[in-house]
Amino acid sequence: MKVLIIGGGVIGLLTALELSQAGCEVTLLDKQDFGQAASWAGGGILSTMYPWLYPDAVNGLARFGKAMYQQWQPLLQQATGLDIEINPSGMLILDEADFNTGLGWAAHDHDPQQTAQLLTDSALHSINPRLNSSISQGLWFPELANIRNPRLLKTLIAFLKLQPNVNMQAFTTVQRFDIKNNRISAVVDEHGKRWQADQYVIATGAWSGLLSEQFDWQVPVKPIQGQMILFKAPAQWLPTMVMHQGIYLIPRLDGHIVCGSSTDDVGFNTDVNIETGLKLQQTAYRLAPELQDMPRVHAWAGLRPSVPDGVPYIGQAPLGQTSQQSNLWLNCGHFRNGLVMAPASARLLKQQMLGETLMVDPTAYLPANRLGQNQPFKLM
């Protein structure tokens, strides 16, 4: 089977990985270089940020993230010599209003990666001595981890370029789909070149709505900007991830610390806002005061693909009156959880496309059940 995937972020790359490992011939197109946009810009937390606030459909895929990356890691590293850098740091959530809810959710959910306990005073500061001394309580999730997404993307790109059944074409913009008898016969790029396959996948994140304008429906994806700051501390300086009021500190293995993130509805603008950056920086200094002594390395902003109900679209998209004979597929709309949902999203799409046993019930994600519904956006 020949599959053409449009979009070379983490969703498209992992979809290409799954399908190519299953024996498909895969062509991957991106309008810029691979591994850019939201995939590069994100924090890489391998969990939803406050799991009890998310739909079951989101947590249902996110729970696979850490384990699936750990399963892929040896294959990727052996082939490329690159490390995707999974950091099993655990996370402290400092929002007192969420303590009881979080403990109840962890006890009820029975996910071994989401075990939680409430720490106070010396127990809290022994886990993370960099915390502000005025912080006296924290909800501790010891099994949570983060992945260094730029290294992940670099590794996936390098691995896929080694595969004889994968063709990667960067800086190739899809202008339209050629459709005949309710099936796509080709996509046409900006130079008029026709790219043909048996199946076609849209995995273009925040741009998925623009790419679907040709059809009788449009993917209701809205770009939401998230701004980030990078600090450099000594290796292992910050031992855990820290979260408070939606702002997080994420330690990398080499001492870099990512602080994020804002949620700004500014269209497709990725310019860094100075005022927003100062607010993030001030929050970082309140959480870990000694960060003020560490150099601030970089600031950037990315665009998350928000959808109305927060649940991504994964599955066949309708062409004409039905999706049953369609050869168009969607894998998009993951908002803030693209990195953690990507492995399971890619595998679920592959399983649907190839008629394999499904890892989860796909009903909540199927585009045919949801496209055309007018719903207000919920930013979680």
Q: Whole-structure pTM over 0.75, yes or no?
A: yes
Q: How far is CA 224 from the centre of its chain?
A: 13
Asked if residue 86 lies in contact with residue 66, where contact means CB atoms within 8 angstroms, the answer is: yes
Coil/strand/helix, residue 289: helix
Asked if residue 280 lies in contact with residue 291, where contact means CB atoms within 8 angstroms, the answer is: no
Kind of pairing between the strands at 199-202 and 2-6: parallel
Angle between the N-to-C axes of helices 65-80 and 338-354, in degrees from 0 to 180, rounded to the nearest 10? 80
- pLDDT for position 325: 83
- pLDDT for position 111: 75
Which residue is associated with the tokens 């998230």? 226
- pLDDT for position 113: 75
Asked if residue 317 lies in contact with residue 323, where contact means CB atoms within 8 angstroms, the answer is: yes
Fold of 88-145+222-306: D-Amino Acid Oxidase; Chain A, domain 2 (3.30.9)
- pLDDT for position 211: 84
Superfamily of domain 2-54+151-221+308-369: FAD/NAD(P)-binding domain (3.50.50.60)
Angle between the N-to-C axes of helices 338-354 and 10-21, in degrees from 0 to 180, rounded to the nearest 10? 40
pLDDT in tens, the chain (380 residues): 999 999 999 999 999 999 999 999 999 999 999 998 878 888 999 999 999 999 999 999 999 999 999 999 999 999 999 999 999 999 999 999 999 999 999 888 767 778 999 999 999 999 999 999 999 999 999 999 999 999 999 999 999 999 999 999 999 999 999 999 889 999 999 999 999 999 999 999 999 988 888 888 889 999 999 999 999 999 999 999 999 999 999 999 999 999 999 999 999 999 999 999 999 999 999 999 999 999 999 999 999 999 999 999 999 999 876 667 899 999 999 999 999 999 999 999 999 999 999 999 999 999 988 886 555 445 55
Every domain of the chain with CATH number 3.30.9.10 lies at 88-145+222-306
Every domain of the chain with CATH number 3.50.50.60 lies at 2-54+151-221+308-369
Quote the strand ranges of 252-341, DSSP E: 256-260, 296-306, 313-316, 328-332
Q: Give 32's DSSP letter.
A: S
**What residue spans of the chain are helical by DSSP H?**
10-21, 37-41, 56-62, 65-80, 99-109, 121-127, 149-161, 208-211, 274-287, 338-354
CA distances from 166 to 24, 159, 174, 289 (A): 9, 10, 18, 48
